[in-house]
Amino acid sequence: MGAEPTAHTQASLPDEEEALLRALDLSFDYGHGSVLRDVALTVRAGEFVALVGPNGSGKSTLLKVLLGALPPGSGRVELLGRVPGDVRDRWRVGYVPQRPSLLSEVPATVEEIVSAGRLRQRGWWRGLTGSDREAVHHAIESVGLGTLAGRPLNELSIGQQQRAFIARAFAGEPALLVLDEPIAGVDAESQRRFRDSLVHLIRAHGAGVLLVSHELAAVADVIDRVVVLKERVVFDGSPEELAARGVSLGVHREDLPLWLEDLG
């Protein structure tokens, strides 16, 4: 079966050193039954990987383990070539959590939130430079929030807030972007912008992208690999390989998740 996950994670691959993110034989549980089992996954520089699967299949959990926010039960994780806890240049990783723990009690503007994405570039104790501010403004523009930059987050709609969190991840000009359903509740126009920003990051900066989403329509044409997770990886391959299994990112654009969930 061409869908065997190991096909893409063999250690002998020539471009191995370019792997931004690697997981091998990864297992995890929260203490009541297995959530991830023997998961293998690789994201290389310049690669766009879509991670899909039904609700509760372990996608968000996998991202948290990969980023070191949760300890792996067993198996190995390498983030930028190191164990997540040892990664020194973490600012090269951009992350959009599925449901941000952010709840602003005190008003905080879009700009203030997005600026946090630049804190690690030169050291968090230093002030922001002109180029930091430029990157922040550019990130805000790229999600179409330019006119709302000075508005407090809690005065924005849910979709606009979500775009602010995307901008926060973009602001750091990351080498690896890990996005957990960033475009849920985001309108079509903004999804197109989002796609263009991702394409720019990949093509111009050689970034790697790992995107969890139930809505792949907007990005279907730029996906290099699709990984279908259901506690295990049940498919890992190119859109062409997926087409050979009867699911086409083009044809099934609109109802793709349903088709993918039927795999395995």
Ligand X SMILES: Nc1ncnc2c1ncn2[C@@H]1O[C@H](COP(=O)(O)OP(=O)(O)OP(=O)(O)O)[C@@H](O)[C@H]1O
Interaction site with ligand X (CB under 6 A):
30, 35, 53, 55-61, 98
HEC-encoded secondary structure of the chain: CCCCHHHHCCCCCHHHHHEEEEEEEEEEECCCCEEEEEEEEEEECCCEEEEECCCCCCHHHHHHHHCCCCCCCEEEEEECCECHHHCCCHHHEEEECCCCCCCCCCCCEHHHHHHHHHCCCCCCCCCCCHHHHHHHHHHHHHCCCHHHCCCEHHHCCHHHHHHHHHHHHHHCCCCEEEEECCCCCCCHHHHHHHHHHHHHHHHHHCCEEEEECCCCHHHHHHCCEEEEEECEEEEEECHHHHHHCCCCCCCCCCCHHHHHHCCC
Residue 147 as a binder of another protein (CB under 8 A): the answer is no
Least separation in angstroms between CB 35 and Mg ion: 11
Residue closer to Mg ion (CB basis): 42 or 60: 60
The verdict on 11 binding another protein (CB under 8 A) reads no
Minimum gap (Å) between residue 60 Cβ and Mg ion? 3
Q: Which of 2, 56, 71, 107 binds another protein (CB under 8 A)?
A: 107
Size of the site for another protein (CB under 8 A): 36
CB of 29 to another protein, least distance (A): 17
Least distance from another protein to the Cβ atom of residue 94, Å = 9
Q: Binder to another protein among 10, 104, 129, 131 (CB under 8 A)?
A: 104
Using CB under 8 A, list all residues that contact another protein.
Answer: 67-69, 87, 90-91, 93, 95, 97, 100-109, 112-113, 115-117, 119-120, 124-125, 127-128, 150-152, 155, 168, 172
**Interface with Mg ion by CB under 5 A: which residues?**
59-60, 98
